[in-house]
Structure 1
Amino acid sequence: MPDLHLPTHRLHYRIDGAAAAGPWLVFCNSLGTDLHMWDAQVADLAKDFRILRYDRRGHGGSGIPAPPYSLADLGADVIALMDALGTARAHFCGLSIGGLTAQWLALHAADRLERVVVCATAARIGTPAGWHARIAEVEADGLQGLVPATAERWFTPAFRAARPEAVAAILASFAATSADGYAGCCAALAGADLRDRLAQIATPLLAISGEDDPVCPPADLEAIARAVQHGRHVALPGRHIVNLESADTFNAVLRDFLRAAGPSSHGRTRPALQSTNSGRTT
Protein backbone atom coordinates (compact mmCIF):
# COMPACT_ATOMS: atom_id res chain seq x y z
CA MET A 1 0.00 0.00 0.00
CA PRO A 2 1.40 3.42 -0.94
CA ASP A 3 2.08 6.52 1.14
CA LEU A 4 1.55 10.19 0.40
CA HIS A 5 4.39 12.30 1.84
CA LEU A 6 3.28 15.68 3.19
CA PRO A 7 5.49 18.35 4.80
CA THR A 8 4.87 17.16 8.38
CA HIS A 9 3.83 13.52 7.98
CA ARG A 10 2.89 10.78 5.56
CA LEU A 11 -0.56 9.34 4.86
CA HIS A 12 -0.83 5.60 4.32
CA TYR A 13 -3.63 4.70 1.90
CA ARG A 14 -5.11 1.94 -0.22
CA ILE A 15 -7.26 1.90 -3.36
CA ASP A 16 -9.56 -1.02 -4.15
CA GLY A 17 -12.38 -1.69 -6.52
CA ALA A 18 -13.88 -0.73 -9.83
CA ALA A 19 -11.94 0.38 -12.87
CA ALA A 20 -11.19 4.02 -13.61
CA ALA A 21 -14.77 4.71 -14.71
CA GLY A 22 -16.24 3.91 -11.30
CA PRO A 23 -17.23 6.66 -8.86
CA TRP A 24 -14.86 7.35 -5.97
CA LEU A 25 -15.87 6.42 -2.42
CA VAL A 26 -13.61 7.53 0.45
CA PHE A 27 -13.81 5.87 3.88
CA CYS A 28 -12.57 7.61 7.04
CA ASN A 29 -11.92 5.63 10.24
CA SER A 30 -12.96 6.04 13.85
CA LEU A 31 -10.55 7.09 16.60
CA GLY A 32 -8.04 4.36 17.41
CA THR A 33 -8.60 2.20 14.31
CA ASP A 34 -6.94 1.74 10.94
CA LEU A 35 -8.23 1.39 7.39
CA HIS A 36 -9.04 -2.30 7.90
CA MET A 37 -12.13 -1.36 9.90
CA TRP A 38 -13.81 -1.02 6.47
CA ASP A 39 -12.85 -4.48 5.14
CA ALA A 40 -16.48 -5.67 5.20
CA GLN A 41 -17.55 -2.67 3.14
CA VAL A 42 -14.75 -3.05 0.59
CA ALA A 43 -15.53 -6.75 0.09
CA ASP A 44 -19.12 -5.88 -0.85
CA LEU A 45 -18.85 -2.49 -2.57
CA ALA A 46 -15.58 -2.70 -4.49
CA LYS A 47 -17.34 -3.95 -7.62
CA ASP A 48 -19.32 -0.69 -7.79
CA PHE A 49 -16.85 1.97 -6.59
CA ARG A 50 -13.20 2.97 -6.62
CA ILE A 51 -12.64 2.82 -2.88
CA LEU A 52 -10.02 4.96 -1.18
CA ARG A 53 -9.15 4.14 2.42
CA TYR A 54 -6.43 5.81 4.47
CA ASP A 55 -5.01 5.82 7.97
CA ARG A 56 -5.63 9.14 9.69
CA ARG A 57 -2.53 10.99 10.88
CA GLY A 58 -1.20 9.35 14.02
CA HIS A 59 -2.92 6.05 13.24
CA GLY A 60 -2.05 2.77 11.53
CA GLY A 61 0.68 3.10 8.93
CA SER A 62 0.51 6.89 8.68
CA GLY A 63 3.03 9.28 10.21
CA ILE A 64 2.68 10.92 13.59
CA PRO A 65 3.12 14.69 13.44
CA ALA A 66 3.51 16.45 16.77
CA PRO A 67 0.16 16.85 18.53
CA PRO A 68 -2.25 18.51 19.04
CA TYR A 69 -4.30 18.29 15.85
CA SER A 70 -7.42 20.16 14.80
CA LEU A 71 -10.45 19.09 12.80
CA ALA A 72 -9.20 21.41 10.04
CA ASP A 73 -5.91 19.45 9.99
CA LEU A 74 -7.82 16.20 9.50
CA GLY A 75 -9.95 17.67 6.74
CA ALA A 76 -6.93 19.17 4.99
CA ASP A 77 -5.31 15.71 4.93
CA VAL A 78 -8.28 14.38 2.96
CA ILE A 79 -8.08 17.22 0.43
CA ALA A 80 -4.32 16.72 0.04
CA LEU A 81 -4.83 13.01 -0.60
CA MET A 82 -7.59 13.63 -3.15
CA ASP A 83 -5.45 16.26 -4.89
CA ALA A 84 -2.48 13.91 -5.09
CA LEU A 85 -4.63 11.17 -6.62
CA GLY A 86 -6.39 13.49 -9.05
CA THR A 87 -9.74 12.80 -7.40
CA ALA A 88 -11.85 15.83 -8.26
CA ARG A 89 -15.01 14.61 -6.48
CA ALA A 90 -15.94 11.65 -4.31
CA HIS A 91 -18.56 10.19 -2.04
CA PHE A 92 -17.31 10.32 1.56
CA CYS A 93 -18.21 8.00 4.45
CA GLY A 94 -16.80 8.59 7.94
CA LEU A 95 -17.47 7.04 11.34
CA SER A 96 -17.12 8.81 14.71
CA ILE A 97 -14.24 11.29 14.30
CA GLY A 98 -14.40 10.32 10.63
CA GLY A 99 -18.00 11.55 10.63
CA LEU A 100 -16.89 14.87 12.06
CA THR A 101 -14.27 15.05 9.31
CA ALA A 102 -17.07 14.44 6.80
CA GLN A 103 -19.08 17.34 8.25
CA TRP A 104 -16.04 19.64 8.09
CA LEU A 105 -15.50 18.73 4.45
CA ALA A 106 -19.16 19.36 3.65
CA LEU A 107 -18.74 22.85 5.12
CA HIS A 108 -15.31 23.72 3.70
CA ALA A 109 -14.92 21.63 0.54
CA ALA A 110 -18.43 20.88 -0.68
CA ASP A 111 -17.29 21.18 -4.29
CA ARG A 112 -15.18 18.03 -3.76
CA LEU A 113 -18.09 15.91 -2.48
CA GLU A 114 -20.87 14.03 -4.23
CA ARG A 115 -22.66 12.59 -1.20
CA VAL A 116 -21.79 12.30 2.48
CA VAL A 117 -22.46 9.48 4.93
CA VAL A 118 -21.85 10.16 8.62
CA CYS A 119 -21.92 7.18 10.98
CA ALA A 120 -21.93 6.87 14.78
CA THR A 121 -20.95 10.51 15.16
CA ALA A 122 -22.29 13.90 16.25
CA ALA A 123 -21.77 17.57 15.50
CA ARG A 124 -19.97 17.64 18.85
CA ILE A 125 -18.78 14.39 20.43
CA GLY A 126 -18.39 14.52 24.20
CA THR A 127 -17.04 17.57 25.99
CA PRO A 128 -13.68 19.38 25.93
CA ALA A 129 -13.13 18.47 29.58
CA GLY A 130 -13.77 14.80 28.86
CA TRP A 131 -11.33 14.72 25.95
CA HIS A 132 -8.62 16.56 27.88
CA ALA A 133 -9.02 14.00 30.68
CA ARG A 134 -8.66 11.22 28.10
CA ILE A 135 -5.48 12.86 26.75
CA ALA A 136 -3.98 12.98 30.23
CA GLU A 137 -4.86 9.33 30.83
CA VAL A 138 -3.33 8.17 27.55
CA GLU A 139 -0.20 10.26 28.00
CA ALA A 140 0.29 8.72 31.45
CA ASP A 141 -0.66 5.09 30.81
CA GLY A 142 -1.03 4.43 27.08
CA LEU A 143 -4.04 2.86 25.41
CA GLN A 144 -3.95 -0.71 26.71
CA GLY A 145 -5.88 0.14 29.86
CA LEU A 146 -8.71 1.59 27.75
CA VAL A 147 -9.34 -1.64 25.84
CA PRO A 148 -12.00 -3.24 28.13
CA ALA A 149 -14.17 -0.10 28.27
CA THR A 150 -13.69 0.45 24.54
CA ALA A 151 -14.93 -3.07 23.79
CA GLU A 152 -18.02 -2.39 25.89
CA ARG A 153 -18.79 0.90 24.14
CA TRP A 154 -18.08 -0.30 20.64
CA PHE A 155 -19.84 -3.71 20.48
CA THR A 156 -22.93 -5.31 21.99
CA PRO A 157 -22.39 -8.35 24.24
CA ALA A 158 -24.12 -10.54 21.63
CA PHE A 159 -21.72 -9.46 18.89
CA ARG A 160 -18.67 -9.88 21.12
CA ALA A 161 -19.80 -13.45 21.84
CA ALA A 162 -20.69 -14.29 18.24
CA ARG A 163 -17.69 -12.68 16.47
CA PRO A 164 -14.77 -12.67 18.94
CA GLU A 165 -12.15 -12.72 16.17
CA ALA A 166 -13.56 -9.60 14.51
CA VAL A 167 -13.74 -7.78 17.84
CA ALA A 168 -10.18 -8.86 18.72
CA ALA A 169 -8.84 -7.49 15.42
CA ILE A 170 -10.40 -4.06 15.99
CA LEU A 171 -9.21 -3.92 19.60
CA ALA A 172 -5.68 -4.95 18.58
CA SER A 173 -5.62 -2.02 16.17
CA PHE A 174 -6.83 0.25 18.96
CA ALA A 175 -4.17 -0.92 21.42
CA ALA A 176 -1.43 -0.51 18.79
CA THR A 177 -2.33 3.12 18.04
CA SER A 178 0.34 5.66 18.90
CA ALA A 179 -0.38 7.48 22.16
CA ASP A 180 0.72 10.75 20.54
CA GLY A 181 -1.49 10.17 17.51
CA TYR A 182 -4.46 9.23 19.65
CA ALA A 183 -3.97 12.23 21.95
CA GLY A 184 -3.59 14.53 18.96
CA CYS A 185 -6.96 13.40 17.61
CA CYS A 186 -8.54 13.71 21.07
CA ALA A 187 -7.48 17.36 20.93
CA ALA A 188 -9.24 17.69 17.57
CA LEU A 189 -12.38 16.24 19.13
CA ALA A 190 -12.12 18.60 22.10
CA GLY A 191 -12.15 21.59 19.75
CA ALA A 192 -14.78 20.34 17.29
CA ASP A 193 -18.28 21.77 17.60
CA LEU A 194 -20.22 22.14 14.33
CA ARG A 195 -23.73 22.31 15.79
CA ASP A 196 -24.32 25.92 14.77
CA ARG A 197 -23.17 25.33 11.18
CA LEU A 198 -25.08 22.20 10.16
CA ALA A 199 -27.76 24.20 8.32
CA GLN A 200 -25.07 25.35 5.88
CA ILE A 201 -24.48 21.79 4.66
CA ALA A 202 -26.18 21.38 1.28
CA THR A 203 -24.49 18.13 0.19
CA PRO A 204 -26.97 15.20 0.35
CA LEU A 205 -26.26 13.44 3.65
CA LEU A 206 -27.14 10.10 5.18
CA ALA A 207 -26.68 9.64 8.93
CA ILE A 208 -26.35 6.05 10.21
CA SER A 209 -26.52 5.28 13.91
CA GLY A 210 -26.16 2.17 16.03
CA GLU A 211 -29.39 1.63 17.94
CA ASP A 212 -27.49 0.81 21.15
CA ASP A 213 -24.52 3.18 20.71
CA PRO A 214 -23.65 4.81 24.07
CA VAL A 215 -21.04 7.10 22.48
CA CYS A 216 -23.15 8.76 19.76
CA PRO A 217 -26.74 7.62 20.27
CA PRO A 218 -29.34 7.75 17.50
CA ALA A 219 -30.56 11.17 18.67
CA ASP A 220 -27.18 12.66 17.71
CA LEU A 221 -27.44 11.33 14.16
CA GLU A 222 -31.09 12.32 13.85
CA ALA A 223 -30.13 15.86 14.89
CA ILE A 224 -27.58 16.06 12.07
CA ALA A 225 -30.03 14.72 9.49
CA ARG A 226 -32.71 17.20 10.54
CA ALA A 227 -30.38 20.20 10.59
CA VAL A 228 -28.72 19.82 7.18
CA GLN A 229 -30.52 20.80 3.99
CA HIS A 230 -30.90 17.30 2.52
CA GLY A 231 -30.54 14.71 5.29
CA ARG A 232 -31.86 11.28 6.24
CA HIS A 233 -31.25 9.14 9.31
CA VAL A 234 -31.18 5.34 9.54
CA ALA A 235 -30.71 3.41 12.79
CA LEU A 236 -29.25 -0.11 12.59
CA PRO A 237 -28.65 -2.79 15.24
CA GLY A 238 -25.35 -2.40 17.06
CA ARG A 239 -23.21 -0.04 19.07
CA HIS A 240 -20.47 2.35 17.94
CA ILE A 241 -18.77 0.25 15.25
CA VAL A 242 -22.08 -0.27 13.50
CA ASN A 243 -20.47 -0.80 10.08
CA LEU A 244 -19.06 -4.09 11.39
CA GLU A 245 -21.87 -5.18 13.69
CA SER A 246 -24.56 -4.70 11.00
CA ALA A 247 -22.27 -5.01 7.99
CA ASP A 248 -24.72 -6.49 5.46
CA THR A 249 -27.51 -4.01 6.19
CA PHE A 250 -25.05 -1.12 6.46
CA ASN A 251 -23.68 -1.96 3.01
CA ALA A 252 -27.15 -2.20 1.48
CA VAL A 253 -28.24 1.15 2.92
CA LEU A 254 -24.99 2.80 1.86
CA ARG A 255 -25.24 1.45 -1.69
CA ASP A 256 -28.89 2.56 -2.01
CA PHE A 257 -28.04 6.07 -0.88
CA LEU A 258 -25.06 6.47 -3.18
CA ARG A 259 -26.99 5.16 -6.19
CA ALA A 260 -30.28 6.96 -5.72
CA ALA A 261 -31.59 10.48 -7.23
CA GLY A 262 -32.29 13.80 -5.55
CA PRO A 263 -30.99 17.31 -4.91
CA SER A 264 -27.29 18.08 -4.89
CA SER A 265 -25.44 21.13 -3.67
CA HIS A 266 -24.67 21.99 -7.30
CA GLY A 267 -28.22 22.08 -8.64
CA ARG A 268 -28.05 18.80 -10.57
CA THR A 269 -30.40 15.89 -10.07
CA ARG A 270 -28.63 13.33 -7.94
CA PRO A 271 -29.61 10.08 -6.22
CA ALA A 272 -32.19 10.32 -3.42
CA LEU A 273 -32.23 7.73 -0.66
CA GLN A 274 -34.89 5.14 -1.43
CA SER A 275 -37.08 4.01 1.43
CA THR A 276 -35.79 0.89 3.11
CA ASN A 277 -37.05 -1.54 5.71
CA SER A 278 -33.52 -2.57 6.61
CA GLY A 279 -33.47 -0.34 9.66
CA ARG A 280 -35.42 2.34 11.49
CA THR A 281 -35.47 5.58 9.50
CA THR A 282 -36.38 9.14 10.32
Structure 2
Amino acid sequence: MNAPSFITVGDGTRLAYRFDGQADKPVLMLSNSIGTTMAMWDPQIASLSENFYILRYDARGHGASDAPAGAYSLDRLGHDVVELLDALHLDRVHFLGISLGGFVGQWLGIYAPQRLDKLILANTSAYLGPSPQWNERIRQLQTSPDMAAVAENFLGNWFSADFMRRRPDTIEIFRAMLLTTPPQGLAGSFAAVRDTDLRRTATLIDLPVLIIAGQYDTVTALSHSEALAALLPQARLKVLPVVHLSNIERPVEFVAWVREFLR
Protein backbone atom coordinates (compact mmCIF):
# COMPACT_ATOMS: atom_id res chain seq x y z
CA MET A 1 0.00 0.00 0.00
CA ASN A 2 1.29 3.46 -0.88
CA ALA A 3 2.26 5.88 1.88
CA PRO A 4 -0.73 7.75 3.35
CA SER A 5 -1.30 11.49 3.35
CA PHE A 6 -1.94 13.45 6.55
CA ILE A 7 -4.01 16.28 7.97
CA THR A 8 -3.90 17.81 11.46
CA VAL A 9 -7.27 18.30 13.14
CA GLY A 10 -8.31 20.97 15.63
CA ASP A 11 -6.83 19.39 18.76
CA GLY A 12 -3.44 18.89 17.09
CA THR A 13 -3.85 15.18 16.29
CA ARG A 14 -2.45 14.07 12.95
CA LEU A 15 -4.69 11.72 10.94
CA ALA A 16 -3.57 9.47 8.08
CA TYR A 17 -5.76 8.99 5.01
CA ARG A 18 -5.54 7.84 1.40
CA PHE A 19 -7.58 7.69 -1.78
CA ASP A 20 -7.98 4.76 -4.17
CA GLY A 21 -9.57 4.79 -7.61
CA GLN A 22 -10.63 7.57 -9.94
CA ALA A 23 -11.54 11.03 -8.68
CA ASP A 24 -14.46 11.45 -11.11
CA LYS A 25 -16.49 8.77 -9.31
CA PRO A 26 -18.73 9.23 -6.23
CA VAL A 27 -16.74 9.21 -2.98
CA LEU A 28 -17.20 6.30 -0.59
CA MET A 29 -15.56 6.84 2.80
CA LEU A 30 -14.55 3.77 4.84
CA SER A 31 -14.14 3.74 8.63
CA ASN A 32 -12.48 0.90 10.56
CA SER A 33 -13.14 -1.20 13.60
CA ILE A 34 -11.17 -0.80 16.83
CA GLY A 35 -7.76 -2.44 16.63
CA THR A 36 -7.38 -2.21 12.84
CA THR A 37 -5.90 0.14 10.27
CA MET A 38 -7.22 1.28 6.91
CA ALA A 39 -5.58 -1.87 5.51
CA MET A 40 -8.54 -3.86 6.80
CA TRP A 41 -10.33 -2.78 3.60
CA ASP A 42 -7.58 -3.92 1.22
CA PRO A 43 -9.50 -6.98 -0.05
CA GLN A 44 -12.46 -4.79 -1.08
CA ILE A 45 -10.63 -1.88 -2.71
CA ALA A 46 -10.27 -3.29 -6.23
CA SER A 47 -13.95 -4.17 -6.43
CA LEU A 48 -15.36 -1.04 -4.76
CA SER A 49 -13.13 1.31 -6.75
CA GLU A 50 -14.83 0.15 -9.96
CA ASN A 51 -17.78 2.30 -8.91
CA PHE A 52 -16.41 4.67 -6.25
CA TYR A 53 -13.49 6.92 -5.37
CA ILE A 54 -12.46 5.34 -2.06
CA LEU A 55 -11.41 7.50 0.89
CA ARG A 56 -10.14 5.65 3.95
CA TYR A 57 -8.37 6.80 7.07
CA ASP A 58 -6.79 5.55 10.27
CA ALA A 59 -8.88 6.61 13.25
CA ARG A 60 -6.95 8.40 15.98
CA GLY A 61 -5.11 5.85 18.08
CA HIS A 62 -4.59 3.49 15.15
CA GLY A 63 -2.23 2.86 12.25
CA ALA A 64 -0.26 5.85 11.01
CA SER A 65 -2.47 8.37 12.84
CA ASP A 66 -1.43 9.87 16.17
CA ALA A 67 -2.49 8.14 19.39
CA PRO A 68 -3.00 10.88 21.97
CA ALA A 69 -3.25 9.78 25.60
CA GLY A 70 -6.53 9.93 27.48
CA ALA A 71 -10.15 9.10 26.78
CA TYR A 72 -11.51 9.70 23.28
CA SER A 73 -15.13 10.66 22.72
CA LEU A 74 -17.46 9.75 19.88
CA ASP A 75 -17.97 13.48 19.39
CA ARG A 76 -14.22 13.89 18.77
CA LEU A 77 -14.11 10.87 16.43
CA GLY A 78 -17.03 12.31 14.48
CA HIS A 79 -15.42 15.73 14.23
CA ASP A 80 -12.24 14.05 12.96
CA VAL A 81 -14.26 12.87 9.94
CA VAL A 82 -15.90 16.26 9.38
CA GLU A 83 -12.53 18.04 9.57
CA LEU A 84 -11.01 15.52 7.13
CA LEU A 85 -13.87 16.12 4.68
CA ASP A 86 -13.44 19.88 5.09
CA ALA A 87 -9.70 19.67 4.45
CA LEU A 88 -10.31 17.62 1.29
CA HIS A 89 -13.10 19.98 0.12
CA LEU A 90 -15.65 17.16 0.04
CA ASP A 91 -19.21 18.35 0.68
CA ARG A 92 -20.93 14.94 0.74
CA VAL A 93 -19.88 11.30 0.69
CA HIS A 94 -21.30 7.84 1.06
CA PHE A 95 -20.06 6.49 4.40
CA LEU A 96 -19.41 2.87 5.39
CA GLY A 97 -18.35 2.18 8.97
CA ILE A 98 -17.78 -1.18 10.62
CA SER A 99 -17.90 -1.70 14.40
CA LEU A 100 -16.42 1.51 15.92
CA GLY A 101 -16.66 2.99 12.43
CA GLY A 102 -20.38 2.26 12.61
CA PHE A 103 -20.62 4.30 15.81
CA VAL A 104 -18.94 7.15 13.93
CA GLY A 105 -21.38 6.68 11.06
CA GLN A 106 -24.32 7.00 13.42
CA TRP A 107 -22.84 10.19 14.91
CA LEU A 108 -22.51 11.68 11.43
CA GLY A 109 -26.08 10.70 10.60
CA ILE A 110 -27.30 12.50 13.72
CA TYR A 111 -25.03 15.56 13.87
CA ALA A 112 -23.74 16.05 10.31
CA PRO A 113 -26.35 14.50 7.98
CA GLN A 114 -25.70 17.22 5.39
CA ARG A 115 -22.30 15.59 4.76
CA LEU A 116 -23.77 12.19 3.87
CA ASP A 117 -25.60 10.75 0.88
CA LYS A 118 -26.12 7.16 2.02
CA LEU A 119 -24.94 5.42 5.19
CA ILE A 120 -23.85 1.81 5.72
CA LEU A 121 -23.47 0.52 9.28
CA ALA A 122 -21.79 -2.88 9.59
CA ASN A 123 -21.52 -4.98 12.74
CA THR A 124 -22.23 -2.11 15.07
CA SER A 125 -24.60 -0.98 17.81
CA ALA A 126 -26.20 2.10 19.30
CA TYR A 127 -24.95 1.10 22.77
CA LEU A 128 -22.34 -1.34 24.11
CA GLY A 129 -22.38 -0.66 27.84
CA PRO A 130 -22.31 -1.01 30.75
CA SER A 131 -19.22 0.89 31.91
CA PRO A 132 -17.47 -1.54 34.32
CA GLN A 133 -16.39 -4.00 31.59
CA TRP A 134 -14.78 -1.16 29.62
CA ASN A 135 -13.17 0.38 32.69
CA GLU A 136 -11.40 -2.88 33.45
CA ARG A 137 -10.09 -3.19 29.88
CA ILE A 138 -8.90 0.41 29.93
CA ARG A 139 -7.19 -0.08 33.30
CA GLN A 140 -5.28 -3.12 32.02
CA LEU A 141 -4.13 -1.26 28.91
CA GLN A 142 -2.96 1.66 31.03
CA THR A 143 -1.15 -0.35 33.71
CA SER A 144 -0.01 -3.70 32.29
CA PRO A 145 -0.78 -4.04 28.58
CA ASP A 146 -0.33 -7.57 27.22
CA MET A 147 -0.95 -6.90 23.55
CA ALA A 148 -0.43 -10.54 22.57
CA ALA A 149 -3.31 -11.55 24.87
CA VAL A 150 -5.37 -8.58 23.68
CA ALA A 151 -4.82 -9.67 20.08
CA GLU A 152 -5.91 -13.25 20.81
CA ASN A 153 -9.08 -12.00 22.48
CA PHE A 154 -9.93 -9.74 19.54
CA LEU A 155 -9.28 -12.41 16.92
CA GLY A 156 -11.51 -14.89 18.73
CA ASN A 157 -14.31 -12.31 18.78
CA TRP A 158 -13.84 -11.23 15.16
CA PHE A 159 -13.75 -14.53 13.26
CA SER A 160 -15.35 -17.95 13.35
CA ALA A 161 -13.17 -20.88 14.40
CA ASP A 162 -13.63 -22.35 10.92
CA PHE A 163 -12.38 -19.17 9.22
CA MET A 164 -9.39 -19.01 11.56
CA ARG A 165 -8.46 -22.57 10.58
CA ARG A 166 -8.93 -22.01 6.86
CA ARG A 167 -7.31 -18.58 6.55
CA PRO A 168 -4.27 -18.37 8.82
CA ASP A 169 -2.70 -15.87 6.41
CA THR A 170 -5.57 -13.43 6.96
CA ILE A 171 -5.51 -14.00 10.71
CA GLU A 172 -1.81 -13.09 10.83
CA ILE A 173 -2.48 -9.83 8.97
CA PHE A 174 -5.03 -8.82 11.59
CA ARG A 175 -2.85 -10.04 14.46
CA ALA A 176 -0.10 -7.74 13.19
CA MET A 177 -2.51 -4.79 13.10
CA LEU A 178 -3.49 -5.45 16.70
CA LEU A 179 0.07 -5.88 17.93
CA THR A 180 1.09 -2.54 16.42
CA THR A 181 -1.90 -0.63 17.84
CA PRO A 182 -0.68 1.63 20.68
CA PRO A 183 -2.22 0.54 24.01
CA GLN A 184 -3.22 4.15 24.77
CA GLY A 185 -4.94 4.39 21.38
CA LEU A 186 -6.92 1.25 22.15
CA ALA A 187 -7.75 2.50 25.65
CA GLY A 188 -8.88 5.87 24.30
CA SER A 189 -11.14 4.15 21.78
CA PHE A 190 -12.60 1.84 24.43
CA ALA A 191 -13.54 4.98 26.39
CA ALA A 192 -15.42 6.34 23.37
CA VAL A 193 -17.44 3.12 23.16
CA ARG A 194 -17.98 3.04 26.94
CA ASP A 195 -19.43 6.56 26.97
CA THR A 196 -21.65 6.24 23.89
CA ASP A 197 -25.39 5.66 24.05
CA LEU A 198 -27.22 6.52 20.82
CA ARG A 199 -30.40 4.58 21.53
CA ARG A 200 -32.51 7.76 21.73
CA THR A 201 -30.72 10.03 19.28
CA ALA A 202 -30.31 7.42 16.50
CA THR A 203 -33.98 7.94 15.66
CA LEU A 204 -32.90 11.31 14.19
CA ILE A 205 -30.99 9.58 11.36
CA ASP A 206 -33.29 10.25 8.42
CA LEU A 207 -31.05 8.97 5.62
CA PRO A 208 -31.07 5.78 3.54
CA VAL A 209 -29.24 3.29 5.76
CA LEU A 210 -28.05 -0.25 5.12
CA ILE A 211 -27.28 -2.27 8.24
CA ILE A 212 -25.12 -5.37 7.78
CA ALA A 213 -25.07 -7.76 10.72
CA GLY A 214 -23.30 -10.98 11.67
CA GLN A 215 -25.59 -13.84 12.61
CA TYR A 216 -23.02 -15.12 15.13
CA ASP A 217 -21.53 -11.77 16.19
CA THR A 218 -20.43 -11.88 19.84
CA VAL A 219 -19.29 -8.24 19.93
CA THR A 220 -22.27 -6.41 18.44
CA ALA A 221 -24.93 -9.09 18.61
CA LEU A 222 -27.50 -9.53 15.86
CA SER A 223 -30.12 -8.24 18.30
CA HIS A 224 -28.24 -4.91 18.39
CA SER A 225 -28.53 -4.55 14.61
CA GLU A 226 -32.18 -5.53 14.71
CA ALA A 227 -32.82 -2.89 17.38
CA LEU A 228 -30.94 -0.28 15.36
CA ALA A 229 -32.90 -1.13 12.21
CA ALA A 230 -36.14 -0.69 14.16
CA LEU A 231 -35.02 2.79 15.27
CA LEU A 232 -34.07 4.17 11.86
CA PRO A 233 -36.91 5.25 9.56
CA GLN A 234 -35.06 4.47 6.30
CA ALA A 235 -33.05 1.40 7.34
CA ARG A 236 -32.84 -2.00 5.76
CA LEU A 237 -31.14 -4.94 7.47
CA LYS A 238 -29.03 -7.69 5.88
CA VAL A 239 -27.55 -10.59 7.85
CA LEU A 240 -24.48 -12.66 6.97
CA PRO A 241 -23.58 -16.03 8.60
CA VAL A 242 -20.41 -14.58 10.16
CA VAL A 243 -19.02 -13.33 13.47
CA HIS A 244 -17.81 -9.70 13.57
CA LEU A 245 -15.65 -8.66 10.61
CA SER A 246 -18.22 -9.44 7.94
CA ASN A 247 -16.28 -7.76 5.13
CA ILE A 248 -13.43 -10.23 5.68
CA GLU A 249 -15.35 -13.47 6.25
CA ARG A 250 -17.88 -12.95 3.42
CA PRO A 251 -16.36 -10.32 1.12
CA VAL A 252 -18.30 -11.21 -2.03
CA GLU A 253 -21.75 -10.81 -0.47
CA PHE A 254 -20.59 -7.80 1.55
CA VAL A 255 -19.38 -5.89 -1.51
CA ALA A 256 -22.42 -6.92 -3.57
CA TRP A 257 -24.79 -5.53 -0.93
CA VAL A 258 -22.80 -2.31 -0.63
CA ARG A 259 -22.77 -1.75 -4.39
CA GLU A 260 -26.45 -2.59 -4.77
CA PHE A 261 -27.44 -0.21 -1.95
CA LEU A 262 -25.33 2.67 -3.22
CA ARG A 263 -26.25 2.26 -6.87
User: What TM-score does the superposition give when structure 2 sets the normalisation length?
Assistant: 0.96
1:223 is aligned to 227
- Aligned position for 2:124: 121
Distance in 1 (CA, whole Å) between partners of 2:53 and 2:19 is: 7
Of 245, 248, 254, the match for 2:249: 245
| Residue 38 (str. 1) matches residue 41 (str. 2) | yes
Determine helix, strand or coil for the equivalent of 2:200.
Answer: helix
- For residues 9-46 of structure 1, the C-alpha deviation after alignment (integer angstroms, 9 at most, x for no partner) is 1000110012x321110000000100011112212111
Letter aligned with residue 69 of structure 1? Y
Residue 27 of structure 1 corresponds to 30
Q: Would the aligned equivalents of 1:91 and 1:115 in 2 still touch at CA under 8 Å?
A: yes
Q: Which amino acid aligns with 2:215?
A: E
CA distance in 1, matches of 2:123, 2:143: 28
Q: Structure 1 residues 65 and 8 mapped into 2: Cα distance closer, same or farther (>3 Å)? A: farther
State the partner residue of 1:157.
Answer: 161
User: Relative contact order, CA 8 A, sep 6+: which one is greater?
Assistant: 2
CA–CA separation in structure 2 for the residues paired with 1:246 and 1:51: 20
Partner of residue 58 from structure 2, selected from 45, 55, 59? 55
**1:191-270 map, 5 Å:** 191-259=195-263
3-state SS of 1:195 partner: coil
Displacement of 1:110 in angstroms is 0.1
CA apart distance, 1:225: 1.2
Q: Deviations over 1:143-186 (max 9, x none)?
A: 22212221111100111111111111012101210111111111
Separation (CA, whole Å) in 1 of partners of 2:27 and 2:180 = 29
Contact 1:68 1:184 in 2 (8 A): yes
Partner amino acid, structure 1, of 2:73: S
Unaligned runs of at least 5 residues, structure 1: 260-282
Number of the residue aligned with 2:19: 15
* CA–CA distance in structure 2, aligned partners of residues 204 and 37 of structure 1: 25
Q: Does 1:81 align with 2:94?
A: no
2:8 maps to amino acid: H
SS in 2 for 1:125: coil
Q: How many angstroms apart in 2 are the aligned matches of 1:126 and 1:148? A: 22
Task: Determine what percentage of the aligned residue pairs are the same residue.
Answer: 38
Give the corresponding residue for 1:139.
142
SS of residue paired to 2:163: helix
> Are the aligned partners of 1:202 and 1:230 in contact in 2 as well (CA < 8 Å)?
yes
Summarize deviations over 1:120-154 as a string: whole Å, max 9, x none: 11001232111111101111222222122211111
Instruction: Give the aligned residue type for 2:200.
Output: D
Q: In the TM superposition, what whole-angstrom CA distance separates every residue of 1:171-213 from its partner, at most 9, and x where no partner exists?
A: 2101210111111111111110000112111011111011111
**Cα distance in 1 for residues equivalent to 2:155 and 2:25:** 36
Aligned-partner Cα distance in 2 for 1:249–1:79: 29
Which contiguous aligned blocks of 4+ residues in structure 1 show a shift greater than 6 angstroms?
Answer: none
Unpaired runs of 5+ residues, structure 2, are none
In structure 1, how many angstroms separate the alpha carbons of the residues matched to 2:96 and 2:128?
A: 17
Instruction: Determine if contact 1:226/1:232 at 8 Å carries over to the other structure.
Output: no
User: What is the CA–CA distance in structure 2 between the aligned matches of 1:218 and 1:3, rounded to whole Å?
Assistant: 36
Is 1:97 aligned with 2:100? yes
Distance in 2 (alpha carbons) for counterparts of 1:199 and 1:209: 19
1:180 to 179, 184, 187: 184
CA–CA separation in structure 1 for the residues paired with 2:43 and 2:129: 28
**Equivalent in 165, 170, 174 of residue 166 of structure 1:** 170
1:118 maps to amino acid: L
Q: 2:82 & 2:52 partners in 1: Cα distance?
A: 19
The separation in 1 between residues aligned to 2:16 and 2:217, in whole angstroms, is 29
Q: State how many pairs are aligned.
A: 258
SS at match of 1:36: helix
